[in-house]
Amino acid sequence: MQMTKDSSQARFRTRTRARRIPAWYRAGTVIITLLIFALLIPLDAGTAEAVTPDFEPIKQRLVEDGINAEVVQACFADPRFKVIPDLLMLNVRQPSGTAGYTRFIEDQSVRTASAFLSLHRSRIEKVLKDSPVNPEVVVAILQVESSLGAYRGTYPLLNVYASLTLLDSDQLELIFPGYWARVLEGNGPGDLDTARNQAKKRADLKARWAYRELRTLFIMAGEGRLDPLSAKGSWAGAYGLPQFIPTSYEAYGRDGNGDGRVDLETLEDAVASISHYLRIHGYRKDRPGKRRKAVWHYNHSDEYVDCILTLAERIEILSAEKFAP
Ligand SMILES: [Ca+2]
d(CA 126, ligand 1 centre) in Å: 14
pLDDT band at 1 (very low <50, low <70, confident <90, very high): very low
13, pLDDT greater than 70: no
Per-residue model confidence as pLDDT tens digits over 264-314: 999 999 999 999 999 999 999 899 999 999 999 999 999 999 999 999 999
DSSP string, 33-52: HHHHHHHHSPPPTTTSPPPP
Which of 194-229 are b and which e, b meaning 16 or more Cβ less than 10 Å from the residue's Cβ? ebeeebeebbeebbebbbebbbbbbbbbeeebbbbb
Domain ranges of the chain: 24-322
d(CA 158, ligand 1 centre) in Å: 23
Indicate the helix (H) or strand (E) that contains 247: helix 246-252
Contact predicate 165/215, CB 8 Å:
no
d(CA 253, ligand 1 centre) in Å: 10
How far is it, in rounded angstroms, from Cα 297 to Cα 42? 44
Structure confidence at residue 224 (pLDDT): 87
d(CA 168, ligand 1 centre) in Å: 37
Per-residue model confidence as pLDDT tens digits over 213-243: 999 999 999 888 899 999 999 999 999 999 9
d(CA 132, ligand 1 centre) in Å: 21
Torsion of CA 164, 165, 169, 172, to 10 degrees: -20
Tell me the pTM. Answer: 0.80
Beta strands in 62-215 (DSSP E): 155-156
